[in-house]
Structure 1
Amino acid sequence: MAGPGEAQEKFMQLPLPQLDQLKNNIDQELEFFSSSITQLRIAQTKLQESCDSLSKLNKDTEGKEILVPLTSSLYVPGKLSDVNNVLIDVGTGYYVEKNVMDADKYFKRKIDFINTQVDKLTDILQEKVKLKQAIVGVMQMKIQAQMMAQQSTVAKT
Protein backbone atom coordinates (compact mmCIF):
# COMPACT_ATOMS: atom_id res chain seq x y z
CA MET A 1 0.00 0.00 0.00
CA ALA A 2 1.18 3.51 -0.74
CA GLY A 3 2.58 5.66 2.04
CA PRO A 4 0.61 8.60 3.40
CA GLY A 5 2.48 11.13 1.23
CA GLU A 6 1.96 9.13 -1.96
CA ALA A 7 -1.70 8.61 -1.15
CA GLN A 8 -2.21 12.33 -0.57
CA GLU A 9 -0.59 13.12 -3.93
CA LYS A 10 -2.97 10.73 -5.68
CA PHE A 11 -5.95 12.13 -3.79
CA MET A 12 -4.99 15.70 -4.76
CA GLN A 13 -5.70 14.79 -8.39
CA LEU A 14 -9.30 13.81 -7.60
CA PRO A 15 -12.16 16.30 -7.52
CA LEU A 16 -14.04 16.90 -4.25
CA PRO A 17 -17.13 14.84 -5.18
CA GLN A 18 -14.96 11.78 -5.88
CA LEU A 19 -13.05 12.30 -2.64
CA ASP A 20 -16.33 12.52 -0.76
CA GLN A 21 -17.55 9.29 -2.37
CA LEU A 22 -14.24 7.60 -1.56
CA LYS A 23 -14.51 8.76 2.06
CA ASN A 24 -18.06 7.39 2.27
CA ASN A 25 -16.88 4.03 0.89
CA ILE A 26 -14.10 3.87 3.45
CA ASP A 27 -16.60 4.76 6.21
CA GLN A 28 -18.70 1.76 5.12
CA GLU A 29 -15.62 -0.48 5.12
CA LEU A 30 -14.65 0.75 8.59
CA GLU A 31 -18.13 -0.08 9.86
CA PHE A 32 -17.97 -3.54 8.23
CA PHE A 33 -14.56 -4.37 9.70
CA SER A 34 -15.55 -3.06 13.15
CA SER A 35 -18.70 -5.17 13.06
CA SER A 36 -16.70 -8.22 11.97
CA ILE A 37 -14.27 -7.77 14.85
CA THR A 38 -17.21 -7.49 17.27
CA GLN A 39 -18.77 -10.69 15.93
CA LEU A 40 -15.46 -12.52 16.19
CA ARG A 41 -15.03 -11.33 19.79
CA ILE A 42 -18.53 -12.66 20.61
CA ALA A 43 -17.66 -16.03 19.07
CA GLN A 44 -14.37 -16.02 20.98
CA THR A 45 -16.20 -15.38 24.26
CA LYS A 46 -18.60 -18.27 23.61
CA LEU A 47 -15.71 -20.60 22.81
CA GLN A 48 -13.90 -19.51 25.97
CA GLU A 49 -17.03 -20.15 28.04
CA SER A 50 -17.29 -23.64 26.50
CA CYS A 51 -13.63 -24.28 27.27
CA ASP A 52 -14.12 -23.10 30.86
CA SER A 53 -17.17 -25.36 31.24
CA LEU A 54 -15.05 -28.40 30.42
CA SER A 55 -12.95 -27.82 33.51
CA LYS A 56 -16.08 -28.23 35.66
CA LEU A 57 -16.62 -31.79 34.45
CA ASN A 58 -15.28 -34.36 36.90
CA LYS A 59 -16.36 -37.52 38.73
CA ASP A 60 -18.12 -35.41 41.39
CA THR A 61 -20.45 -33.88 38.79
CA GLU A 62 -21.44 -37.22 37.22
CA GLY A 63 -25.15 -37.92 37.74
CA LYS A 64 -25.96 -34.34 38.78
CA GLU A 65 -28.99 -32.47 37.46
CA ILE A 66 -28.22 -30.00 34.66
CA LEU A 67 -30.11 -27.84 32.18
CA VAL A 68 -29.54 -28.96 28.58
CA PRO A 69 -29.84 -26.22 25.94
CA LEU A 70 -32.12 -27.14 23.05
CA THR A 71 -32.02 -23.63 21.55
CA SER A 72 -30.45 -20.38 22.68
CA SER A 73 -33.47 -19.71 24.92
CA LEU A 74 -34.93 -23.17 25.64
CA TYR A 75 -33.44 -25.50 28.25
CA VAL A 76 -34.68 -28.86 29.51
CA PRO A 77 -33.66 -30.69 32.68
CA GLY A 78 -31.27 -33.62 32.34
CA LYS A 79 -28.65 -35.67 34.17
CA LEU A 80 -24.95 -35.60 33.49
CA SER A 81 -24.24 -39.23 32.65
CA ASP A 82 -20.79 -39.10 31.00
CA VAL A 83 -18.16 -36.64 32.22
CA ASN A 84 -15.43 -38.01 29.93
CA ASN A 85 -17.09 -37.23 26.58
CA VAL A 86 -18.92 -34.16 25.29
CA LEU A 87 -20.79 -33.09 22.18
CA ILE A 88 -19.33 -30.08 20.42
CA ASP A 89 -21.26 -27.85 18.04
CA VAL A 90 -18.95 -27.54 15.02
CA GLY A 91 -21.35 -25.32 13.09
CA THR A 92 -24.28 -25.51 10.68
CA GLY A 93 -26.14 -27.90 12.96
CA TYR A 94 -23.41 -30.54 13.18
CA TYR A 95 -22.17 -31.96 16.47
CA VAL A 96 -19.11 -34.10 17.12
CA GLU A 97 -18.45 -36.27 20.16
CA LYS A 98 -15.02 -35.74 21.70
CA ASN A 99 -13.34 -36.61 24.94
CA VAL A 100 -12.77 -33.68 27.29
CA MET A 101 -9.07 -33.29 26.47
CA ASP A 102 -9.68 -33.23 22.69
CA ALA A 103 -12.59 -30.83 23.17
CA ASP A 104 -10.34 -28.50 25.16
CA LYS A 105 -7.72 -28.59 22.39
CA TYR A 106 -10.43 -27.91 19.79
CA PHE A 107 -11.74 -24.86 21.66
CA LYS A 108 -8.24 -23.47 22.23
CA ARG A 109 -7.36 -23.96 18.56
CA LYS A 110 -10.52 -22.11 17.50
CA ILE A 111 -9.82 -19.30 19.98
CA ASP A 112 -6.26 -18.94 18.62
CA PHE A 113 -7.62 -18.86 15.06
CA ILE A 114 -10.09 -16.12 15.97
CA ASN A 115 -7.31 -14.13 17.68
CA THR A 116 -5.29 -14.31 14.47
CA GLN A 117 -8.25 -13.14 12.40
CA VAL A 118 -8.99 -10.29 14.80
CA ASP A 119 -5.34 -9.18 14.59
CA LYS A 120 -5.50 -9.20 10.77
CA LEU A 121 -8.74 -7.25 10.74
CA THR A 122 -7.37 -4.77 13.27
CA ASP A 123 -4.38 -4.11 11.01
CA ILE A 124 -6.68 -3.57 8.02
CA LEU A 125 -8.89 -1.30 10.11
CA GLN A 126 -5.92 0.84 11.13
CA GLU A 127 -4.82 1.18 7.48
CA LYS A 128 -8.34 2.22 6.49
CA VAL A 129 -8.39 4.83 9.27
CA LYS A 130 -5.08 6.27 7.99
CA LEU A 131 -6.45 6.31 4.45
CA LYS A 132 -9.58 8.12 5.60
CA GLN A 133 -7.48 10.67 7.47
CA ALA A 134 -5.44 11.31 4.32
CA ILE A 135 -8.62 11.79 2.27
CA VAL A 136 -10.15 14.13 4.85
CA GLY A 137 -6.90 16.13 4.96
CA VAL A 138 -6.89 16.54 1.17
CA MET A 139 -10.57 17.47 1.20
CA GLN A 140 -9.92 20.16 3.80
CA MET A 141 -7.00 21.54 1.77
CA LYS A 142 -9.12 21.65 -1.39
CA ILE A 143 -12.03 23.33 0.40
CA GLN A 144 -9.65 25.91 1.88
CA ALA A 145 -8.14 26.55 -1.54
CA GLN A 146 -11.62 27.04 -3.03
CA MET A 147 -12.57 29.44 -0.25
CA MET A 148 -9.37 31.45 -0.75
CA ALA A 149 -9.97 31.57 -4.50
CA GLN A 150 -13.52 32.84 -3.91
CA GLN A 151 -12.29 35.46 -1.46
CA SER A 152 -9.66 36.68 -3.90
CA THR A 153 -12.23 37.00 -6.72
CA VAL A 154 -14.58 38.89 -4.36
CA ALA A 155 -11.71 41.17 -3.29
CA LYS A 156 -10.88 41.94 -6.96
CA THR A 157 -14.40 43.12 -7.65
Structure 2
Amino acid sequence: MAGIAGQKEKAQKENMQKIDLTTLTLPQLAQLKQQLEQDLSLYQDSLQTLKIAQTKFQESAESAEKLESTQEGAPILVPLTGSMYVPGKISKPEQPLIDIGTGYYAENTIEKAKSYFKRKVKFVTEQMEKVQMLGIEKSQVRDAVAEVMDLKVQAQVAANPQQAAPVRT
Protein backbone atom coordinates (compact mmCIF):
# COMPACT_ATOMS: atom_id res chain seq x y z
CA MET A 1 0.00 0.00 0.00
CA ALA A 2 2.86 2.37 0.80
CA GLY A 3 4.34 1.60 -2.64
CA ILE A 4 1.14 2.65 -4.39
CA ALA A 5 0.97 5.88 -2.39
CA GLY A 6 4.59 6.62 -3.28
CA GLN A 7 3.88 6.02 -6.97
CA LYS A 8 0.86 8.35 -6.88
CA GLU A 9 2.90 11.03 -5.13
CA LYS A 10 5.67 10.69 -7.72
CA ALA A 11 3.16 10.87 -10.59
CA GLN A 12 1.57 13.98 -9.08
CA LYS A 13 4.95 15.69 -8.82
CA GLU A 14 5.74 14.79 -12.44
CA ASN A 15 2.39 16.24 -13.58
CA MET A 16 2.85 19.45 -11.62
CA GLN A 17 3.66 22.60 -13.53
CA LYS A 18 5.08 25.86 -12.37
CA ILE A 19 2.74 28.74 -13.04
CA ASP A 20 3.70 32.39 -12.86
CA LEU A 21 0.96 33.67 -10.55
CA THR A 22 1.33 37.21 -11.86
CA THR A 23 0.04 36.08 -15.28
CA LEU A 24 -3.29 34.94 -13.81
CA THR A 25 -6.32 37.21 -13.59
CA LEU A 26 -7.97 38.06 -10.26
CA PRO A 27 -10.86 35.61 -10.83
CA GLN A 28 -8.37 32.85 -11.68
CA LEU A 29 -6.35 33.67 -8.57
CA ALA A 30 -9.51 33.66 -6.45
CA GLN A 31 -10.49 30.26 -7.84
CA LEU A 32 -6.98 28.90 -7.23
CA LYS A 33 -7.01 30.23 -3.67
CA GLN A 34 -10.42 28.65 -3.05
CA GLN A 35 -9.15 25.29 -4.38
CA LEU A 36 -6.07 25.51 -2.16
CA GLU A 37 -8.25 26.24 0.88
CA GLN A 38 -10.39 23.20 0.06
CA ASP A 39 -7.24 21.10 -0.22
CA LEU A 40 -6.02 22.42 3.14
CA SER A 41 -9.36 21.55 4.71
CA LEU A 42 -9.10 18.03 3.29
CA TYR A 43 -5.57 17.70 4.70
CA GLN A 44 -6.81 18.82 8.13
CA ASP A 45 -9.60 16.23 8.01
CA SER A 46 -7.08 13.56 6.97
CA LEU A 47 -4.77 14.53 9.82
CA GLN A 48 -7.62 14.24 12.32
CA THR A 49 -8.54 10.80 10.98
CA LEU A 50 -4.92 9.67 11.12
CA LYS A 51 -4.56 11.03 14.67
CA ILE A 52 -7.59 8.98 15.75
CA ALA A 53 -6.10 5.86 14.14
CA GLN A 54 -2.73 6.56 15.76
CA THR A 55 -4.37 6.89 19.19
CA LYS A 56 -6.32 3.64 18.72
CA PHE A 57 -3.17 1.73 17.77
CA GLN A 58 -1.27 3.21 20.74
CA GLU A 59 -4.10 2.21 23.09
CA SER A 60 -4.14 -1.28 21.58
CA ALA A 61 -0.38 -1.60 22.16
CA GLU A 62 -0.90 -0.55 25.79
CA SER A 63 -3.70 -3.11 26.15
CA ALA A 64 -1.41 -5.82 24.79
CA GLU A 65 1.19 -4.75 27.39
CA LYS A 66 -1.40 -5.13 30.16
CA LEU A 67 -2.28 -8.64 28.99
CA GLU A 68 1.14 -9.88 30.11
CA SER A 69 0.08 -9.55 33.75
CA THR A 70 -3.53 -10.69 33.21
CA GLN A 71 -4.63 -14.07 34.54
CA GLU A 72 -6.88 -16.50 32.70
CA GLY A 73 -10.50 -16.10 33.79
CA ALA A 74 -10.11 -12.40 34.60
CA PRO A 75 -13.32 -10.42 33.99
CA ILE A 76 -13.50 -8.18 30.92
CA LEU A 77 -16.07 -6.09 29.10
CA VAL A 78 -16.44 -7.23 25.49
CA PRO A 79 -17.61 -4.56 23.02
CA LEU A 80 -20.60 -5.52 20.88
CA THR A 81 -20.95 -2.05 19.35
CA GLY A 82 -19.32 1.30 19.95
CA SER A 83 -21.47 1.84 23.03
CA MET A 84 -22.67 -1.61 24.13
CA TYR A 85 -20.56 -4.05 26.14
CA VAL A 86 -21.21 -7.46 27.69
CA PRO A 87 -19.28 -9.09 30.53
CA GLY A 88 -16.83 -11.82 29.62
CA LYS A 89 -13.76 -13.66 30.85
CA ILE A 90 -10.30 -13.83 29.37
CA SER A 91 -9.61 -17.35 28.13
CA LYS A 92 -6.06 -17.19 26.71
CA PRO A 93 -4.29 -13.99 27.78
CA GLU A 94 -1.03 -15.19 26.21
CA GLN A 95 -2.68 -15.37 22.74
CA PRO A 96 -4.85 -12.29 22.17
CA LEU A 97 -7.05 -11.83 19.11
CA ILE A 98 -5.83 -8.88 17.07
CA ASP A 99 -8.22 -6.86 14.90
CA ILE A 100 -6.37 -6.63 11.59
CA GLY A 101 -9.13 -4.71 9.84
CA THR A 102 -12.41 -5.15 7.96
CA GLY A 103 -13.76 -7.60 10.50
CA TYR A 104 -10.79 -9.98 10.43
CA TYR A 105 -8.99 -11.10 13.57
CA ALA A 106 -5.73 -12.98 14.04
CA GLU A 107 -4.59 -14.90 17.10
CA ASN A 108 -1.04 -13.94 18.03
CA THR A 109 1.40 -13.92 20.90
CA ILE A 110 1.57 -10.82 23.08
CA GLU A 111 5.00 -9.92 21.69
CA LYS A 112 3.78 -10.17 18.10
CA ALA A 113 0.70 -8.12 19.01
CA LYS A 114 2.83 -5.37 20.55
CA SER A 115 5.13 -5.42 17.54
CA TYR A 116 2.15 -5.23 15.16
CA PHE A 117 0.69 -2.19 16.91
CA LYS A 118 4.07 -0.45 17.12
CA ARG A 119 4.51 -0.92 13.36
CA LYS A 120 1.01 0.47 12.79
CA VAL A 121 1.73 3.51 14.98
CA LYS A 122 4.97 4.10 13.08
CA PHE A 123 3.24 3.82 9.69
CA VAL A 124 0.40 6.17 10.66
CA THR A 125 2.90 8.66 12.12
CA GLU A 126 4.85 8.63 8.84
CA GLN A 127 1.63 9.24 6.90
CA MET A 128 0.76 12.12 9.23
CA GLU A 129 4.16 13.69 8.58
CA LYS A 130 3.63 13.42 4.82
CA VAL A 131 0.19 15.03 5.05
CA GLN A 132 1.59 17.80 7.26
CA MET A 133 4.32 18.52 4.70
CA LEU A 134 1.76 18.67 1.90
CA GLY A 135 -0.34 21.00 4.03
CA ILE A 136 2.62 23.29 4.65
CA GLU A 137 3.38 23.40 0.91
CA LYS A 138 -0.26 24.15 0.03
CA SER A 139 -0.40 26.81 2.73
CA GLN A 140 2.68 28.51 1.32
CA VAL A 141 1.19 28.48 -2.18
CA ARG A 142 -2.11 29.85 -0.84
CA ASP A 143 -0.23 32.66 0.92
CA ALA A 144 1.65 33.46 -2.29
CA VAL A 145 -1.64 33.56 -4.23
CA ALA A 146 -3.16 35.89 -1.62
CA GLU A 147 -0.11 38.16 -1.85
CA VAL A 148 -0.34 38.34 -5.66
CA MET A 149 -4.08 39.04 -5.37
CA ASP A 150 -3.37 41.94 -3.00
CA LEU A 151 -0.73 43.33 -5.37
CA LYS A 152 -3.14 43.13 -8.32
CA VAL A 153 -5.91 44.86 -6.38
CA GLN A 154 -3.49 47.61 -5.33
CA ALA A 155 -2.36 48.00 -8.94
CA GLN A 156 -5.97 48.31 -10.11
CA VAL A 157 -6.71 50.92 -7.44
CA ALA A 158 -3.58 52.87 -8.40
CA ALA A 159 -4.53 52.72 -12.10
CA ASN A 160 -8.06 54.01 -11.43
CA PRO A 161 -7.82 56.43 -8.48
CA GLN A 162 -11.21 58.08 -9.19
CA GLN A 163 -13.02 54.73 -8.70
CA ALA A 164 -11.33 54.10 -5.38
CA ALA A 165 -11.94 57.58 -3.95
CA PRO A 166 -15.13 58.01 -1.93
CA VAL A 167 -17.79 60.18 -3.55
CA ARG A 168 -18.51 63.42 -1.65
CA THR A 169 -21.90 65.04 -1.77
In 1, the alpha carbon distance for the partners of 2:23 and 2:130 equals 31
- Counterparts in 2 of 1:3-152, with a 5 A limit? 10-58=20-68, 60-151=70-161
Identical-pair percentage: 45
- Secondary structure in 2 aligned to 1:55? helix
Q: Is the 8 A contact 2:157 2:163 kept in 1?
A: no
1:14-65 deviations in Å (ceiling 9; x for gaps): 0000000000000000000111011001000001001001111135532111
Q: What's the C-alpha RMSD, in Å, of the aligned pairs? A: 1.9
TM-score of the superposed pair, with normalisation by structure 1:
0.89
Distance 1:65 1:135, change over 3 A: same
The structural deviation recorded for 1:153 is 7.6
RCO greater where, 1 or 2, for CA within 8 Å and sep 6 or more? 1
Letter aligned with residue 41 of structure 1: K
Give the 3-state SS of the residue equivalent to 1:63 in structure 2. coil
Give distance in 1, aligned partners of 2:33 and 2:163. 30
Q: What does residue 6 of structure 2 align with?
A: none
CA distance in 2, matches of 1:123, 1:149: 39
- Structure 2: give runs of 5+ residues left out of the alignment: 1-12
Amino acid at match of 1:43: A
- Give the Cα separation in 2 of the matches to 1:28 and 1:116: 23
The code of the aligned residue for 1:68 comes to: V
Amino acid at match of 1:27: E
In the superposition, the TM-score normalised over structure 2's length comes to 0.83
Structure 1, unaligned runs of 5 or more: 2-6
